[in-house]
Structure 1
Amino acid sequence: MEKADVIFLNGKVATVDDEFSLAEAVAVKSGWIIAVDSNEKIKKYLDEATEVIDLQGKLMLPGTHDAHMHGVHTGLSLSPLFLDVRFPKVKKISDLQEIIRAAVEKVPEGAWIVGMGWNEMLIEECLAEGRTLKKWDLDVVSPNNPVVLNDYGAHRMVVNSQALGRCDISEKTPDLPPEAGLIERLENSREPTGYLNEWGAQVLVWQQVPTLPAEEIEACILEMNRELNKYGITSHVDILGIGGNQLIRGTWGEKSIGIYEKLAREDKLTARVSINLLAGIDGIQSYQAITEGLEKTTLPDFQDRNWVKAETVKIFGDGGGWLRENNQVVGDHGRSTFPGETDLAQEKELIKTIIEVHRRGWQLGIHAIGGRTIDTIIEGYKQALEKYPRENPRHFIIHGDDMTVENAQVAARYDISMSVQAVAAYQMMDFMRLRFDEEYGNALFAWDVYQKAGVNVANGSDSNIFSLNWLEGAQFAVTRQTVSGNKYRPDLTSERADVIRMYTINGAKQEHLEAVRGSIEVGKVADFQILDQDILMIPPEEIGKTKVVMTMVDGKIVYKNS
């Protein structure tokens, strides 16, 4: 009989198989699971060379798959020179100014200062005055250093006067097409305020900021892997490609794809990665920019697609949202990121792009916040699948905040998945729901309803925008309670087993990899996490406080909480 390299005994092993069955022990050989059974039956795989790990009754789960995040960017954000300007660190403009002031003291005069995280809804002066941050909020503490700060969602940016001057953004700079972005200007003047929206506007700044060299990108990936492992995450998505070459110091660019593959071949990765290709040249979302970007994309020869692969195209269908005409909404109706003078024209351009990318054989993952975007994407997927049928593309919607039951029913018929972020709802639902009338807004994020309609719902973090702690997201999904303690529609909570599926096997299905990971079954990779509490049994409000004791990837311990 084949003997194991490692056996795990005396645990509560949630296999996440079709029945969500439980076991006591697992045997692993050469990074693959060879048996899942009782303690006594697993012991027959033991010999003098086998390592034995006593789980001491703790819960073992498959490793978490983070179904949507920005990996290299997350690694950059862990750098001490990358400013964290999120709430609650920044409640007032003076808080932000002190963070910038401290950074200015650490870098040479003239050096770029970058960071991310501000939210005007959580900054006292911005909320009171009904505005975003402006250049004058930064100038007072950074007269000689260019400062670039993305908001919490990365779609918006504020820069100081030094940065505007370095980038030659002035009254003479032409306005951008609406689909490219916005250079905000003073009322009754063409003077830029320092606020920029969407990728076409941001490229004007980022193309002047030095991109990271290869060795720093490698360091970002390895640091990010270590951070993932602390949270039991053993595989993840990253958004990279030619369209990100000039975004956020190049951390969204195509150079990183080759570095991931290099690290995999050197056996240095401790988390598997599925890359979603950002193809639109300069971040622009249009038929021309995306198809041209795909034609120019050259991928490495992936040695082991269980470790690194790139089979999906990422498209931004909207930024902050493109809302339905009949929506009860506070504020702007929004628009698609695609060109067109009208909603209908934007819709046609987006659907045309979906059909063409599908025709070329790619899987599609499309960012969609607003209901009009979601409706359009589902219609585009339907038309693509009917015009060019093929088996199991598993196109998906990223975020899907304004998904409806009707959307879910259609999505299930066409095997359209969702890639959602429960931790975002945990941290932000109190504010997000304000865009809608109360009854409708309280019913957002009804993942249990979508799953019961037959939709595969995978879950992630959208890091570095939100926390990597998947257990906080799991807690929200089973309680509908936000970080502030507010509960919304507790009748829409999800069962714990279904939530665990969202973070494990459902993510593997999104990646077409359910045959090799996502559950603890014979013939799958030995990617596990062990928790200090049994999240199947503890009070639901305690799930987010649970800690990962140990993480294993490929049968090797990659994290251990001392």
Structure 2
Amino acid sequence: MNMNKSRGVPAWLGLAAIVLPLAGCGGSSEPVADAVYTNAKVLTVDAGNAVEQGFAVKDGKFLAIGSANALGKHIGPATRVVDMGGRTIVPGLSDGHLHGAGGGPGIDLSRTRRIDDVLAAIRDAVASHAPGELLQSNSDWHEAQLKEVRLPTRAELDAAAPNNPLVLHRGGLTAMLNSAALAKWNITESTVSPDGGIIQKDSNGQLTGVLINNARSLMTLPAPPKFDAAALEEMQRKLNALGLTSVRVPGMFTGTDVPSAYAVIRQLQGEGKLSLRFQLLLNAMAPVSTAAQIKAIIGSAQLPQGTGDEWVRIWGAKTSVDGGFEGGYMSQPYSEPYGKGGTFYGLPLVSGQAYQDVVGELARNKYRVAVHVVGDAALDQVLAAWESLDKASPGAVKGWTIEHAFVVRKEQLERVRALGARLSVQAHLYVAAPVLSRYWGHDRAEHVTPVKTFMDYGFQLVGGTDSANMPVNPFWGMYHFITRDTITDGVYGPDQRVGRNDVLRMFTINYADLNGEADTKGSIEKGKLADFVVLSGDYLTVPEVDIQNLHAIATYVGGRQVYRDAATSVPAL
């Protein structure tokens, strides 16, 4: 902090500072701030995307935003005045679709870049475990990040772990097993794939070891580690370090159910240790397919929509109709050989009538609905159900959200817009582009998650990562939406690029608006919660290629510093 030693006040205030501190002692009606941050480039994300020099914070909220002179009247004898050294500050970042902070127990494959890296990580795990002991990976990796752009073969896994059952979890909907794991659960070439799932076989009819969607139910895995206060604190540390101050958890939550997670969050809040704000959705995903199941979920949770406060609130419920990359339900067949001669269109997980029963029961119980949708045929199924509800009770589905929306048709967007529904999108393509190109053909993959088209149709998009199924870094998602670049396969759909301000709004104010919180958070404006992030570079002016390398050097929630990069000049407060 640059202080004028003769006056004991910041030098940037100049001569005005001679009398302004005295005003805070009772000579002025202006409220005195707890802290004033100045000499910054503040991207307010207000309605006009104004850029300001600094702001004042009092009682965990923004008191004033503006120039050094304007802020000076809020400085009193006890006010902390922080010179930000010209750093860029943005509102606290949000993730609109997050299941966990990534990593976690199991073999960590997130940093692997070659098949050899994957196999080396497995061999290291084998060396530290007894023969016969089950080994698992965590899920936040994808074969598209590997130079070979493929999964390891069953034979490669057998060579790396010959005496241990091994399950590689890739995302939330695919698992790959070695021979010992297939034998453990008696999965053979004659095992029938369950409804909504695939036991993958090669061209010779031999098991590849890959289980897709509901086929994973053939495994009986040990319960994940308990999600407790210590686990939540560790999760907060990881996410705060990425500049995240708010997350929306759609159904499945880092190894525990939402009611249990809600209780842990409340525990930490009561202890004054919470540094992340939550919107939680009850899990009503497939195979949930009846009104009776929904009644049981609601009755067990005892958490009506809206329960909570500014720290944690129940948003509604999460549903699903199709699978992931390998199972997204399309109106056109998959590319060969995945299309099986033009006969494979993906995996619908519930019937149209079953889905209508599910969302009808949720609506009767006053829950907003979010739905996992990958393919356009799945979206047809959703729209039929939602339009039926809306016809019976106009406005019934307003504010409900489509999650993902990888492949859509323009006429579907008109129907979504007519319903008043919203879109929550993630940057899966950044990581998985070459694999999606193989599954669906390059032309279709070029326009996966077409954010420019969505915006042209008037949608106010909410951005996210889908961690722990994908890497959690929000700046990777921003970079992809701005450039349409991918990790290993160049630019996909350059006509879908959008501007930096629009993308920043996706991860800040649009998130708040989706949750009905735009009056209290999401931008740096007077009266809003003082959640903000100091960035390592200028988001608006760094070369595009460097956006993916931006990071938080300090994160604040309610005016409290909850993360600080020890290597930065930002003071510890």
Q: CA-to-partner distance for each residue in 1:155-197, whole Å, 9 max, x for gaps?
A: 011233444455x434599745413x344578898x9764322
Partner of 2:18: none
1:286 pairs, out of 272, 284, 289, with 289
Distance 2:143 2:488 in 1: 18
What is residue 376 of structure 2 aligned with on the other side? 371
Q: Does 1:157 align with 2:175?
A: yes
Residue 83 of structure 1: which of 104, 107, 111 is its match? 107
Greater CA deviation, 260-269 or 522-531? Answer: 260-269
Distance 1:39 1:47 in 2: 14
The one-letter code matched in structure 2 to 1:101 is R
CA contact (8 A) 2:145 2:487 kept: no
Identical positions, percent: 27
How many residue pairs get matched?
528
Pair 1:173–1:298, CA change in 2 (3 A):
farther
Distance 2:439 2:349 in 1: 22
Q: Is the 8 A contact 2:389 2:396 kept in 1?
A: no
Cα distance in 2 for residues equivalent to 1:163 and 1:259:
34
Q: 1:454/1:290 Cα in 2 relative to 1: closer, same or farther (>3 Å)?
A: farther
The 3-state SS of whatever aligns with 1:83 is coil
Deviations 1:295-333 (A, max 9, x none): 443246998421112232111221134444346744333
Q: Does the Cα contact within 8 Å between 1:13 and 1:22 map onto a contact in 2? A: yes
Question: 2: distance between equivalents of 1:547 and 1:209?
Answer: 36
Q: Classify 1:351/1:290 alpha carbon distance in 2 versus 1 (closer, same or farther; 3 Å).
A: same
Moved more, 103-112 or 23-32: 103-112
CA distance in 2 between partners of 1:480 and 1:443 (Å): 10
Using a 3 Å threshold, how does the CA distance of structure 1 residues 337 and 212 change in structure 2: closer, same or farther? farther
CA distance in 1, matches of 2:302, 2:469: 27
Q: Secondary structure at the match of 2:468?
A: coil
Structure 2 CA distance for partners of 1:401 and 1:289, relative to 1, 3 Å: farther
Q: Are residues 1:57 and 2:82 paired?
A: no
Sort the Cα spacing of 1:444 and 1:85 in 2 relative to 1 into closer, same or farther, 3 A: same
Q: Does 1:211 align with 2:224?
A: yes
2:421 maps to 1:409: no
Judge conservation of contact 1:264–1:308 (CA < 8 Å) in 2: no
Q: Deviations over 1:96-124 (max 9, x none)?
A: 33212211222344443221356456668
- Partner residue, 2:361: 356
Q: What is the rounded CA distance, in whole Å, between the counterparts of 1:419 and 1:142 in structure 2? A: 39
Aligned equivalent of 2:235: 224
| 2:66 equivalent to 1:37 | yes
Measure how far apart 1:265 and its partner are: 2.0
Choose 507-516 or 496-505, whichever is displaced more.
507-516
Which runs of no fewer than 5 residues in structure 2 stay unpaired?
1-29, 568-573
Q: Distance between the aligned counterparts of 1:389 and 1:515, measured in 2?
A: 26
The 3 A distance-change label for structure 1 pair 537 and 95 is closer
The amino acid that maps onto 1:201 is A
Letter in 2 for 1:89: T
SS of residue paired to 2:366: coil
- Structure 1 residue 456: deviation in Å? 2.0
Residues 261 and 300 in structure 1, CA contact (< 8 A), matched pair in contact too:
no
Which protein has the larger Cα radius of gyration, Structure 1 or Structure 2?
2
Q: How far apart, CA to CA, are the structure 2 residues paired with 1:303 and 1:490?
A: 42
Give the secondary structure class of the aligned counterpart of 1:68. coil
Q: 1:544 to 1:171 in 2, by over 3 A?
A: closer
SS in 2 for 1:84: coil
Whole-Å Cα distance in 2 between the matches of residues 144 and 220 of structure 1?
A: 31
Which residue identity is paired with 1:318?
D
Give matches, 1:258-407, under 5 Å: 258-280=263-285, 284-287=287-290, 290-299=293-302, 304-320=308-324, 321-326=327-332, 329-330=335-336, 331-332=338-339, 333-339=344-350, 346-390=351-395, 393-407=398-412
Match of 1:482 among 476, 481, 486: 486
Letter in 2 for 1:441: A
Q: Secondary structure at the match of 1:319?
A: coil
Q: Is the 8 A contact 2:92 2:522 kept in 1?
A: yes
The AA in structure 1 aligned to 2:120 is E
Q: For residues 203 and 221 of structure 1, do their structure 2 counterparts lie closer, same or farther at Cα, with a shift above 3 Å needed?
A: farther
Q: CA RMSD in A?
A: 3.1
User: Equivalent residue for 1:201?
Assistant: 215
Residues 19-70 of structure 1: CA deviation (Å, up to 9, x unaligned)? 1122222111111112122221112111122122212222211111100111
What TM-score comes out, normalization by structure 2 length? Answer: 0.83
Instruction: Give the Cα–Cα distance (whole angstroms) in 2 for the partners of residues 308 and 413 of structure 1.
Output: 30
C-alpha distance in 1 between matches for 2:303 and 2:444: 46
